[in-house]
Copies of this chain bind each other. A is one copy, B any other.
Amino acid sequence: MTENCVISIDGMGGDAGCSMVVAGLERFASSRGGVRFLLHGDQTQLEAALRSAPKAREIVDIRHTEKFIAMDAKPAQAVRRGKGSSMWNAIEAVKTGEAAAAVSAGNTGVLMGMSSMILRTVSGVHRPALCASWPTPHGVCAVLDLGADITADAEQLVEFGIMGEAFARAVHQKENPSIGLLNIGSEDIKGSEVLKAAASLMKNCGHDVNYIGFVEGNDISAGVADVVVTDGFTGNIALKSAEGAAKLVGDLLKSSLKSSMWGMLGAMIARPALKRFQSRVDPRNVNGAVFLGLNGVVVKSHGGTDALGYEQALNVAAQMAASRFKEEVAANIERLGEAVKAASQNAEPDTTSTTEAAE
C-alpha cells in the first residue's frame, strides 16, 4: 500500500529533539516497510542518534541544516525568518514533489504558518483545517478544525466535512464515514445561523455525504459520528476541555489507589487490566494531527510525545500519502462549488417575472 513512498521529516522538532524522532523512526522501520524518509536537521546530531537505530538508518537520507525552529518561537517572526530551517526544508520537499508528506513535532503555530506559506491552500478550499483523531468506545473519530483559524462560515464548515470524510477514509479506514456538525443541541433550531446554513448546505453539497445532523459535545467521545465538524475556536476548546477532564479523572484514579494499602494491593493484582485501560486512553495512540486543505500533506506530532507516539504520527503520514485523499477532496470540493453556485443563482430574484408571480 505504501510502496516507494517518501516522507519528509523535521528531525529537530519536538521537546526532546532528534533523539525522540529517530527512536520513532526505528519503531516505524521495525513494523512497516515501503517508506523512505528525508530527515532534515543537524547531520552530526542525527548521525549520532541513528547509531542506536540501525533499522531507521537503512531507510533515511539525512538532509543537513544547522538552522531549526525553537519550540517557543513566535510564529509570525519564525515563519518570516524560517527559510532553510529543518522545518522549512521538510515542508519544501513536499512542494518540490520529492516527498509525499511532511511530519514535524515542532511549534504548532510556526508549522501551520510555514505550511500555508509554502504549500498554499488547495484550489477551491477557502481555508486549511487542523484535523485530529479522538478516542471513542469503538475506535476513533476525526475532529476538525482544531484551531487553524478561529471562525468558519457555512461553506467552509462543509469543506471541513468533505476533507474530514476523506481523512476518515484514508487514516481510519472507514468506508462511508458519518459526519456530524458540533452544536449545543441536536434539534434543527439550535445554534447560530452559520450552523443552520451549514446543515442545509451539508445536505445539498453535490455528493452523497453521510451527514447525520447536529451532534453535541458529549457525542464526540461517545463515537456518535465518524467525523465531527466545527470551527477552530470551538474545536480547540472542545479538545482541550476533554483532555483536561480525562487527565483529571486519570489523576484522581491514581491518587485514590495510592492513598491506601488495599488500593495499592488491588492495583497490583489488577495490573494487566489497568495496563489495558491505560493503553485505551493513551494519547500517544491517536498522535498525529493533519493540516488538511493544503497542496500537500503536513502532519503535526505532539511536541512532548515519545517514540511510540511519533511512530503513530509517521503512520498517519504514510496512510495519507498512500490514499486517494487529494483526488477525492478535489472532486467533492468541485461539486460543492457547483452546488453553492446553483443555490445562489436560484436565490437571485428574476426581476422580469418574480414580482408578477408573487402577486
Tell whether, in the assembled complex, residue B184 and residue A233 are in contact, meaning their CB atoms are under 8 Å apart: yes
Within 8 A of B (CB), among A211-232: 216-222, 230, 232
Q: Give the oligomeric copy count.
A: 2
Q: Is the interface of A mostly helix, strand, loop or mixed?
A: helix
Q: Is A242 an interface residue (CB 8 A)?
A: yes
Q: Is A304 an interface residue (CB 8 A)?
A: no
Tell whether, in the assembled complex, residue B234 and residue A237 are in contact, meaning their CB atoms are under 8 Å apart: yes
How would residues 103 to 137 of chain A score, 1 for a CB under 8 Å from any chain B CB and 0 otherwise?
00000000000000000000000000000000111
Interface size class of A (residues with CB under 8 A): 35 or more
How would residues 241 to 271 of chain A score, 1 for a CB under 8 Å from any chain B CB and 0 otherwise?
1111111111111001101101111111111
Within 8 A of B (CB), among A46-84: none
**Given A220-B241, A238-B217, A263 and B272 touching (CB < 8 A)?**
yes
Residues of B with C-beta under 8 A to A263? 270, 272-274
- The 8 Å CB contact of A262, one of B151, B256, B260, B272, is B272
- Complex CA distance for A241 and B232, rounded to whole angstroms: 15
Offer 26 A-B interface pairs, CB within 8 angstroms, sorted by A: A135-B248, A184-B236, A184-B237, A217-B236, A217-B242, A218-B243, A218-B244, A220-B241, A234-B234, A237-B241, A238-B241, A242-B242, A245-B246, A245-B249, A248-B281, A249-B249, A252-B277, A252-B281, A253-B277, A256-B273, A259-B273, A259-B276, A260-B272, A264-B270, A266-B266, A266-B271
Report A's interface with B, CB cutoff 8 A. 135-137, 147, 150-151, 182, 184, 191-192, 216-222, 230, 232-234, 236-253, 256-257, 259-260, 262-274, 276-277, 280-281
